Amino acid sequence: MLKQLLLSLMLLGFAGVSAASVFEVTLDPAPYSRKLAREQAVDVLLARLAGSAAEASWVRDEIRENGARYREDEQTGGGYRVRFERGELLPLLESAGLKAWTGPRPSLLVWQVNGQRALDTMTTGWRRAGSDFAVPILWPLWDLQEHLQVNKDALLQNGALTEASRRYGAELWLAVQQRGGQLDWRLFSRDGEPPLAQGQAGDPAGVLAAVNDYWVTHQGVQRAPAPVNQAPAEALQAGAHAPGEYILVVTGLRHFADTVRLQQRLAALDGVSGVQLLDSAGDEVRLKLMLSGPAGAVQGLLAGAGLSALGEHRYRLAEAPR
């Protein structure tokens, strides 16, 4: 009863963590550079929502390059805090084929031993990892009863921590055994003895990243694909452009992801210093390229972005950008 009361108090202390939106990221300490802080926050958010599957995804570059679109609010001072725009992010993840786990994170009771020594205090590494993945990390008392009851050599075995964890009223617990510079871990639930997941990592962040991957796989939602864009009732027109600009209309953009990836490809072309989306309708977009070189040279490179010419300033996406 005392331990369940303690756990309740610990959960109350972590209420801010569990209640805070998973779309809110806090870095403390934060990089001195605002640009680096923003980039790091994007990495934390994607790892939290989509797990390791997001590491190689193009969505990272999209959010970094067009951050104002995806940030709802940000604050500096005593670290860096940013709240991302859910309504903009979820369609982006969907278009990339990524599962997103947006639900509240369950609390996790962590039992760690280093050889025969029980780690009876939560480390900074665990606190930071818990913050990054929005997981309330709970720590046992490791009182005399637990030192006598728990076999530290067999911490990872099925059932080794079941009774001790249930006295805290815990739903989930993590058994962690440090061997050299590695952490061997297993995730258990009160509903069954076999571990839900297991692995090895170099630090607490690596452990929670793997646990988060398990949850994303089992709890994440991959939304139904959006309908394919159709040709608009009235085709877009490029219109006039000023010196140092090149305006074009591109058709054949079947999905939102096609537009994002096309803009990334165009921005990477030699002679292009920026890309601005001016208008969109159905499967067509009107784009303005800001030029740092001759317009004729840039036009000759558009095929490398997957575009085939249909007429003056009008192109079709011949290959869906990847």
User: Which pLDDT tens digit goes with each residue over 117-143?
Assistant: 999 899 999 999 999 999 999 999 898
Residue 6 has pLDDT above 60, yes or no: no
Encode pLDDT of 139-173 as tens digits: 998 988 888 889 999 999 999 999 899 888 888 99
For the chain, where do the domains classified as CATH 3.40.50 start and end?
108-219
β-strand pairing of 108-114 with 137-138: parallel
Closest CA to 176 of 194, 192, 160: 160
What pLDDT score was predicted for residue 15? 41
What pLDDT score was predicted for residue 3? 55
Both structure tokens of 46:
């994607």
Record: fold of 245-317: Alpha-Beta Plaits (3.30.70)
What pLDDT score was predicted for residue 96? 86
Half-sphere CA count of 28, side-chain side, radius 13 A: 13
What CATH number labels 108-219? 3.40.50
Its pTM stands at 0.74
Rounded mean pLDDT, 224-251: 86
For the chain, where do the domains classified as CATH 3.30.70 start and end?
245-317
Strands (E) located in the chain: 24-27, 71-76, 80-84, 108-114, 117-118, 137-138, 172-179, 182-189, 192-201, 245-251, 272-281, 284-291, 307-311, 314-317
Encode pLDDT of 261-311 as tens digits: 888 889 889 999 999 999 999 999 999 999 988 888 888 889 888 899 998
Whether residue 195 contacts residue 158, with contact meaning beta carbons closer than 8 Å, is answered with yes
